[in-house]
Chain A
């Protein structure tokens, strides 16, 4: 019945966006010890990429399809720029990266505001996302289904890259033991950069999904960055399985509490649950079996 299906389905869609936001974080934190508070702004950049694409290609259907790779590339390149310009000087200094990236996120927000204005711009969803399907009595919007498909598709692509490509093996090797990977001839510098590109690009794709929910605005990243970090710490740093389960769990629990109590209490209670969980299991759901000595 509705009591359970509505929060379950809505929460799964929310979890899908959290997953897209958290994938980049878990990769960069796990691999490089970088706490990237500017990751939320890559969501924002992805959302604006969807908006700009729609200004060029007026057909909502085509522009949404084009916006996905566009957002991936634009946000990815911005992430790469951030890595090359700033982050590479402070690897393994998580607190410094935290402070610096908070600053970067403020700069990006103000920049977006100066370029696009604070009002926010509409992004028209294509008509095939406007419909609904009936699931156990709940009229489920297609757009949420699309978000889930998008997240699963991105996840599948990312895990395929990590698992099967030589490049993916190098990423995993770097996460497990950076020094050993280097002695085996892996250029961890270029691996770091590509990881940053991929992670930021994923957030950009998530931004397109957000643009379809709520349009664009310069501060939209700020409301996702904290939940995304919750997902990363609950899931366990540095690998995908935990992130997926944690994103889904945080999404569904929040939606259920929102449905039962209220949106504001849902945030509070979810946060409290995460704190309780972390006191019981500080390493998160799963941990990477690392062979580094540190």
Chain B
């Protein structure tokens, strides 16, 4: 989805090949909520039935735990080469930290985590191939990873076909819910809508939308426009620039002419630099037309070449979150990787995803996919961002919306917090103003 330049989406050849390879070993086609699928009886007789291979088709009903021995294999699938590597490596680092911590504390359901690392190479087709390998050859119990929406969309048919599990740690454009994927990043009603609530609370009357031209900004802006009408905020301009384009001068001239109260920035990756520079050159700043971004975090802020002090960002985690869990997370992370390393929202979501998996498995008393799905609803974790709760219906998690304001040290001062964790609503069914078919 986000934050880094994406390659143009390739055809899903890899996904198709991978699918055909595993077509035989498919689980149920039931797309509805997992809560209806048969759960294993925790008090079954595991001793009498030697554990079979993990994942694959749901053997949950037989009562075994799907993982034999004293360890459980998990797949970590992130890009450690290619354009996305710099972002996805941070996620890999958090996952390894979480695995280390969980193992030190006794493992998941008494089993030590053994992780198999794979490189998605910043290519959706490679993601599809590698997750197929992890699920069908390595027979891992669950896979953690993915970053771009393109990578997730490529993995989705594979993970559904194999009836496997994928934990996806990045905020995204919503409008998706697979029973085989757990989304531990924010969906739109946990990031975009809180940002609009914040703007309303600031008394914003006019808003300018600036985004990269692909699915996330287009979807986000569609939601923003409909909600703005509801809130009585006027949209005074909407501009897109192709993902690979860095020149924002023409569009920024329109912002300068429109003089909006706020600019809503859904630009992705390096294109942000061109935008911020043109914005600065045009004499715009936090005093006249401040920016609220959904893709600039602790890591990106220093690389803009322009001082961003006073600008805003909407996330569900900031390094500055004041909680004991966050202090522990930051301390452990920096002890392992160096004190100069910032922690960011997707890293935190990845860290949280492994702990949530642990908690779900221990509630289910099983690693079997169907048992995990049956048990997942209501599972909580005291995450660095605050308490998060798995929604058993859509497999997203309830998260608190946060607005941060960038300070001189490129950290975020949290200036607005939602009223507690927000229930995930990827299809925005609970919002009466939302009409997916409107323009």
Contacts and interface: CB of A to CB of B under 8 A. Distances in A.
Interface of A: 2, 6-7, 10, 13-14, 110, 113, 117-125, 130, 132, 138-139, 141, 143-144, 210, 212-215, 217-220, 222-223, 255, 258-259, 262-264, 267
B246 A132 contact: no
A213 B274 contact: yes
Contacts of B270: 120, 214-215, 217, 219-220
A14 B248 CA distance: 11
Interface residues of B, number: 42
B246 A264 contact: no
Contact of A124 (B85, B274, B305): B305
A2 B245 contact: no
A223 B245 contact: yes
Contact of B273 (A214, A223, A262): A214
Contacts of A14: 247
Contact of B303 (A212, A215, A218): A215
A22 to B, nearest CB: 16
Interface stretch (B102-110, B195-203, B236-244, B371-379): B236-244
Top 7 A-B pairs ranked by shortest CB distance? A122-B305, A214-B246, A214-B274, A118-B86, A141-B281, A223-B244, A263-B241
Contacts of A130: 280-281
A137 to B, nearest CB: 9
B250 A6 contact: yes
A219 B270 CA distance: 9
A120 B281 contact: no
A222 B247 contact: no
Interface stretch (B126-134, B220-228, B251-259, B321-329): B251-259
B14 to A, nearest CB: 19
Nearest to B304: A122
Nearest to A124: B305
A217 B282 contact: no
27 contacts: A10-B247, A10-B249, A10-B250, A10-B253, A117-B86, A118-B82, A118-B83, A119-B86, A119-B300, A122-B306, A125-B277, A130-B280, A139-B253, A143-B281, A210-B246, A212-B277, A213-B249, A214-B246, A214-B270, A215-B273, A219-B5, A219-B270, A220-B246, A262-B213, A262-B239, A263-B240, A264-B213
A110 B7 CA distance: 14
Contacts of B282: 132, 139, 141
A218 B280 CA distance: 23
Given A10-B253, A117-B86, A132-B282, A213 B277 contact: yes
B315 to A, nearest CB: 18
A225 to B, nearest CB: 11
Interface hub of B81, B85, B277 (most chain A Cβ within 10 A): B277
B244 A222 contact: yes
Contacts of B213: 262-264
Nearest to A137: B257
Contacts of A13: 249
Given A120-B270, A215-B270, 4 more contacts: A118-B83, A120-B303, A132-B282, A144-B249
Nearest to A60: B305
Interface in B67-88: 81-87
A139 B241 contact: no
A218 B353 CA distance: 31
A223 B283 contact: no
A188 to B, nearest CB: 37
Contacts of A124: 305
B4 interface: yes
A259 B237 CA distance: 12
B101 interface: no
B299 interface: yes
Nearest to B7: A219
B280 to A, nearest CB: 8
B99 to A, nearest CB: 25
Contacts of B86: 117-119
